[in-house]
Amino acid sequence: MQHSPPHLEDRNPQFSPRSRFCDVEDADRFAKAIASAQPIELEIGSGKGLFLTQAAQSHPDRFFIGLELATKYARDAQSKLVRLGVTNACFIACDAVAVMQHDVRENSLAAVHVYFPDPWWKSRHKKRRVLSDETILNIQRTLVASGQLHFWTDVLDYYEEAVARILELTSFKGPFYVPEPAATHTMDYRTHFERRTRLNGLPVYRARFEKP
Ligand SMILES: C[S@@+](CC[C@H](N)C(=O)[O-])C[C@H]1O[C@@H](n2cnc3c(N)ncnc32)[C@H](O)[C@@H]1O
């Protein structure tokens, strides 16, 4: 399915390369979250926040951080968490690529989730992909031993390229097969993009990796 990937500056005009967080509140909220004593799971490109909101409610013993470039998505998802009284998760408006590089210390994440990242179809735009070599190496650096990387997409080329690159660059075990769960109600999908893809009858490519 064709996505309309955001252009960093178009989607978030207040973003500048010097400020990887949208504003000081995001930077503060991130600093508190990443210091959590609970095992931390981090999602890159959390969109409207369906996965993280449901995962935080199902796993109160863990802390979930969503990194999202589109400020409105991050703000709306954060407001929903507050309305629901969910305290073991937060959404941060930021550039996840830069935050993974500069703000996440090694061996600190129990899991990293990347669901339906913008494909950036044209070759000249591929460098904008969040699953770049830089991010793959940062995921390896920041996961704890036995930490998990979950990567799902509806774009077969992206899936194949990313899986091959992960295997070239890291010592991760995998990709492990992830069966498609049955959807038992209208929002019973991991993310909004998974929902949209499956309701359109299109395939989803899923991989799980584990850091040795
Ligand atoms: C296709 S959407 C998928 C959203 C969600 N994961 C889902 O499956 O419903 C990709 C998301 O990644 C976000 N994104 C793209 N580049 C990003 C970056 N550098 N940092 C954080 N988020 C990014 C976009 O704003 C968008 O919300």
One digit per residue, the tens of pLDDT, for the chain of length 212 reads 545 444 444 445 455 545 799 999 999 999 999 999 999 999 999 999 999 999 999 999 999 999 999 999 999 999 999 999 999 999 999 999 999 999 999 999 999 999 999 988 777 777 788 999 999 999 999 999 999 999 999 999 999 999 999 999 999 999 999 999 899 998 999 999 999 999 999 999 999 999 99
Domain boundaries, the chain: 8-210
CA angle 8-12-15, nearest 5°?
80
Residue 10 is predicted with a pLDDT of 44
Give the closest residue to 100 by CA, choosing from 51, 123, 67: 67
Phi, psi of 159 (to 5 degrees): -55, -50
Nearest Cα residue to atom 12 of ligand 1: 45
| Ligand 1: centre distance to CA 52 (Å) | 13
Residue 179, preceding peptide bond in cis (omega within 30° of 0)? no
CATH number of 8-210: 3.40.50.150
pLDDT score, position 123: 77
Active site residue 28: no
Q: How far is the CA of 117 from the centre of ligand 1 (A)?
A: 6
The CB density around residue 122, as the number of other CB atoms within 10 Å, is: 9
Catalytic residue (one of 26, 95, 118, 154): 118
Nearest CA to ligand 1 atom 27: 47
Ligand 1 centre distance from Cα of residue 2 (Å): 14
Alpha helices, DSSP H only, in the chain? 8-11, 24-34, 50-58, 71-84, 96-102, 133-142, 156-169, 192-199
- Characterize the bridge pairing of strands 173-176 and 143-153: unpaired
Quick one: pLDDT at residue 18? Answer: 52
What's the helix, strand, coil split of the chain in %, to 5?
A: 40, 25, 40
- Tokens for 202, please give them: 């299109």
Q: What's residue 159's pLDDT?
A: 96
